[in-house]
């Protein structure tokens, strides 16, 4: 049985973490569109050069380019038993194209209240020297403001400040609501309550398991 899964959710909800858990549990690859972009650019393929031009100029990569990249990746042998697709589709045309080249079994839509997401993202601190990531509440350093690994200074990234997070959430909802609506109408979208802290990740994975077991 194959498991072709789409992962949706706002920034900071933790979907990358949950996808990693599910990838290991079910033995299917986690495919991130961001990773595909970086890989194509690094390999300097024709597609990679086009993507680099868009990214460098600050423009969104066009749907047809993203579709081509994802389609090529899903045709690779490791996807024959299924995949977890994180960061795609982002638009209705991408979703429509996906339905043509790959059958999707379920779209897991991770949801959490804005205040939970803002606390998660707003509490992050990154080491200015080695890049290690901490959280003031969930993963605090031994000494406040100092990295445990290299004694570098911990800083808050500009895109992790409250006003920026609010804007990111608004943009996400505006851009992806049509995609969620499209997948829900197709009977594919299921909501997963992701408000739990990382130590309770089992409660989130259990909800995913319940939905995935229905695919048998």
- Catalytic residues, by residue number, are 15, 90, 124, 157, 168
Per the rule left: phi > 0, alpha: psi between -120 and 50, beta: everything else, 82 is: left
How many other C-beta atoms lie within 10 A of the C-beta of residue 36?
20
Say how far apart CA 95 and CA 75 lie, in whole Å. Answer: 17
Say how far apart CA 147 and CA 78 lie, in whole Å. Answer: 38
Say how far apart CA 41 and CA 19 lie, in whole Å. Answer: 24
Convert 192-215 to b/e letters by CB count within 10 Å (16 or more is b): bebeeeeeeeeebbebbeebbeee
Say how far apart CA 92 and CA 69 lie, in whole Å. Answer: 17
């Amino acid at each position: 049985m194959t498991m072709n899964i789409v992962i949706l959710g706002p920034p900071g909800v933790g979907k990358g973490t949950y996808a990693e858990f599910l990838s290991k549990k079910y033995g299917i690859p986690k495919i991130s569109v961001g990773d595909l972009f970086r890989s194509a650019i690094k390999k300097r393929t024709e597609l990679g050069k086009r993507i680099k031009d868009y990214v460098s100029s600050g423009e969104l990569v066009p749907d047809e380019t993203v579709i081509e990249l994802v389609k090529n990746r899903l045709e690779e042998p490791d996807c024959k038993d299924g995949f977890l697709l994180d960061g795609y589709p982002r638009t209705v045309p991408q979703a429509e194209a996906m339905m043509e080249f790959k059958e999707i079994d379920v779209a897991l839509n991770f949801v959490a209240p804005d205040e939970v997401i803002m606390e998660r993202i707003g509490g992050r601190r990154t080491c200015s020297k080695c890049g290690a990531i901490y959280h003031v509440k969930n993963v605090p350093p031994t000494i406040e403001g100092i990295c445990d690994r290299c004694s570098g200074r911990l800083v808050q990234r500009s895109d992790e400040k409250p006003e920026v997070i609010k804007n990111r959430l608004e943009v996400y909802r505006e851009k992806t609501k049509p995609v969620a609506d499209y997948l829900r109408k197709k009977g594919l979208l299921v909501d997963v309550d992701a408000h739990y802290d990382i130590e309770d990740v089992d409660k989130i994975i259990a909800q995913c398991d319940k939905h995935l077991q229905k695919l048998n």
